[in-house]
Amino acid sequence: MKSLAELQAIRDKAKQQMNMRGEQPDAIRVLVGMATCGIAAGAKPVLNAFVEEAAKRNLQNVIITQTGCIGICQFEPVVEIEIPGQDKVTYVKMTPEKAVRIVNDHLVNNNVVTEYTIGANS
Contacts to another protein by CB under 8 A: 1-4, 7, 10-11, 13-18, 20-23, 32-36, 39, 47-48, 51-52, 54-55, 63-68
| Shortest distance in whole angstroms from residue 114 CB to another protein | 26
| Shortest distance in whole angstroms from residue 39 CB to another protein | 7
Alpha helices in the chain (DSSP H): 4-18, 36-41, 43-56, 96-102, 118-121
Q: Rank residues 33 and 92 by Cβ distance to another protein and give the closer one.
A: 33
| Shortest distance in whole angstroms from residue 2 CB to another protein | 4
| Shortest distance in whole angstroms from residue 61 CB to another protein | 12
List Cα–Cα distances, 65 to 11, 12, 50, 56, in angstroms.
24, 22, 10, 17
Question: Rounded CA gap, 61 and 49, in Å?
Answer: 17
Q: Rank residues 36 and 86 by Cβ distance to another protein and give the closer one.
A: 36
Three-state DSSP at 87 gives coil
Q: Rank residues 51 and 112 by Cβ distance to another protein and give the closer one.
A: 51
List Cα–Cα distances, 30 to 2, 3, 103, 118, in angstroms.
40, 38, 10, 16
* Beta-ladder partners of 62: 28
Q: Rank residues 17 and 109 by Cβ distance to another protein and give the closer one.
A: 17
